[in-house]
Amino acid sequence: MTTAGLFDLTGKTAFVTGAGSGLGFAMAECFAENGAKVVLAELNRTNLDAALAKLADRGFTCDGRIVDAAHSKQIESAMDCTRKEFGALDIVVANAGISAGPGPMTDIGTIENVAPERWREVLDINLSGVFSTIQCAARHMKAQRSGRIIVTASTAGFRGDPMVGYAYAATKAAVVNLVRQAAMDLARFDVHINAIAPGPFRTSIGGGRMRQSETESAFAETLPLGRIGNPDEIKGAALLLASKASSFMTGAIIPVDGGALSW
């Protein structure tokens, strides 16, 4: 096989949560660009319709599903429909996630000000939602004895981060070990699970605060590269983990972070 063939996804079926914008959309677009049939799972109907229209304008015919990642039955139903329609479930990306709000270096982000309802909401989506997505994917992939699962973790899962909220840091740390635990479980079925740990990217998370110049500048100052990432810059790592190029990788966490974890 040629090197280019290692990254060919022709004939593969991919299912991506949180795919209506940001990193999820970039990964879905990447898979379509490389030949995969892609199903976009997204809670926000407006974002989903806009994402599907963008892909259609580029000549890609993709499917969409309205899915709340906090509800395991919705994830299960959407994934079952995808498997039934396309005959296989080759790539699943557990990407859906939300911000926990300001970090502990702000007056409202200190530990005594963390609202219990916000804590539960972030855990429901960022941790339980990821677990449910992995669990549903595993059922299908173990049966077919093949598959790639990709999880969106975060550099905040590796260290304290003054720029993110408590629940976000806690859930992303848990997700890192969840991936490693699942890798041991699924390897004997030739199901590979790996994660990407993004640093700060220009996305709509946190109500779009990452697109605000003040916030962007604050994050950029923490990075060796001196800038935050563009969503397209996640595509290389996503394609690697979705393709044959990662055939000897499982349980890995790949930082795509502008050098954040280097200091």
- Annotated active-site positions, please? 168
DSSP percent split of the chain into helix, strand, coil, nearest 5: 50, 15, 35
Q: Can you tell me which residue has the tokens 């994402």?
A: 51
Q: Can you tell me which residue has the tokens 């890192």?
A: 176
HSE-up (13 A, CA, CB side) for residue 144: 16
SS3 94: strand
Tell me the residue length of the chain: 263
Give the angle subtended at the CA of 27 by the CAs of 129 and 31, to the nearest 5°. Answer: 120
Residue 244 near residue 186, CB atoms below 8 Å:
no
Residue 136 near residue 186, CB atoms below 8 Å:
no
> Going edge to edge, which strands form the sheet with 37-42?
63-66, 37-42, 13-17, 91-94, 147-152, 191-198, 253-256
Helix 235-242 / helix 22-33 crossing angle, nearest 10 deg:
60
